[in-house]
Amino acid sequence: MPGIRLHHPTLRSCVYVVEDYLTPYTVPYLCGTCKETHQNKALHISLDSDGYTILAEPVYERLRRCGMAGMVVDNEVANPPPTTLGAEAAVLSENEAASIAIQHRTMRAEPVYVPLNGKAIAFSVDDAGIAILPRDTWLELKDHGGYGFDVIGVVPPLTGMRIKVVKYAGRAPEQRVTRSDGRS
């Protein structure tokens, strides 16, 4: 499948997070990738040192629906490199990852509420049954049988990466730039 190369005019070497207000979650979602609580479906776009990224066509279409969030189309890439959840993801174990990508065998686009020892884990799965949970949350869920979820990937810690959160589509954008360690 071809990809679309996009460029951001000012951002470099960061994870650019765009929230889509047209696709709200039924319950707030604590994102294990950017450590933000999302009320809406979020796109996490890794920009290289020149401000470029390559997106699959379905992700590009979602970004277009959000008003492009300042991104500009550069060109189509016939054979894009494979997408991963991070350069080091293939060699990380569940215990070393910052977050765990999981997929449910049957659930699609719905909230998940799992009562555990007097407390509960609440999150939403997307239309493919996928959620990304903080590692410790996944390990606790796994200790209680996994509730029909399987691990499909791991996300390495974003040490030193800048995170730019932009909330788009239907509202004026709120912007904030922080590092993954919480400092501005």
CB-count burial class (<10 Å; 0-12, 13-18, 19+) for 129: buried
> Is the pTM value of this prediction over 0.85?
no
Same domain as 101, residue 65:
no
- Report the Cα 6 to chain-centroid distance in Å: 18
Burial class (CB in 10 A: 0-12, 13-18, 19+), 166: buried
- Tell me how many domains the chain contains: 2
Q: Which tens digit of pLDDT belongs to each residue from 18-64?
A: 888 788 888 787 776 777 788 888 888 888 888 888 887 878 888 88
Assess whether 62 and 98 both reside in one domain. no
Residue with tokens 């909330």: 167
User: How far apart are the C-alpha atoms of 84 and 61, rounded to whole Å?
Assistant: 19
The amino acid occupying position 67 is G
**At residue 91, does pLDDT exceed 70?**
no
Range with the poorest average pLDDT among 47-51, 122-126, 164-168: 164-168
Query: Which range marks the domain in which residue 52 is found?
Result: 3-83+158-179
